[in-house]
A = this chain, B = another copy of it.
Amino acid sequence: MFSIGALSDRTGVKIPTIRYYEEMGLMPEPERTAGNQRRYTQAGLDRLGFIKHARDLGFTIEAIRALIDLNDRPDHSCATANAIATAQLDDVRAKIARLQRLETELVRIATHCDGKGRASDCYVLTSLADHGLCETAH
């Protein structure tokens, strides 16, 4: 049996976050000691690892809840799991594309300004004031 602190140490998930996951229904309510402290089994540790990994990959709590439900019903089709993962991949790719456009603009803005001039001539400030100077949409 593991205390909440032991779970935290093993997974790198902070203690309040573990309690938060419990409240959100991602972690099952564990047994308690006579003094009301949480005691987890190996299954609890495994589940927290699953959640941590999914969060690191950017899945939302909602998506993780759905994945856990599937995990708990082994005879169910995995079509939903595949759909969730694919949606997450699409989302990540969209974010990358957007950030790359921002990167282009920021490079343009930052390289025109060496930080030595005065604010009135600053290209950073001019550029923010005038969207027409931008090369890409954002």
A residues near B, CB below 8 A? Answer: 46, 49-50, 53-54, 56-58, 67, 70-71, 73-79, 81-86, 88-89, 92-93, 95-96, 99-100, 102-103, 105-107, 109-110, 113-122, 124-125, 128-129, 131, 138
Contact pick for A78, options B77, B84, B115, B138, CB 8 Å:
B115
Contact pick for A82, options B46, B71, B114, B121, CB 8 Å:
B114
Contact pick for A67, options B76, B86, B96, B125, CB 8 Å:
B125
Which secondary structure characterizes the binding site on chain A?
helix
Most B C-beta atoms less than 10 A away, residue of A73, A84, A85, A107: A85
> What CA separation (Å) do A114 and B103 show in the bound complex?
35
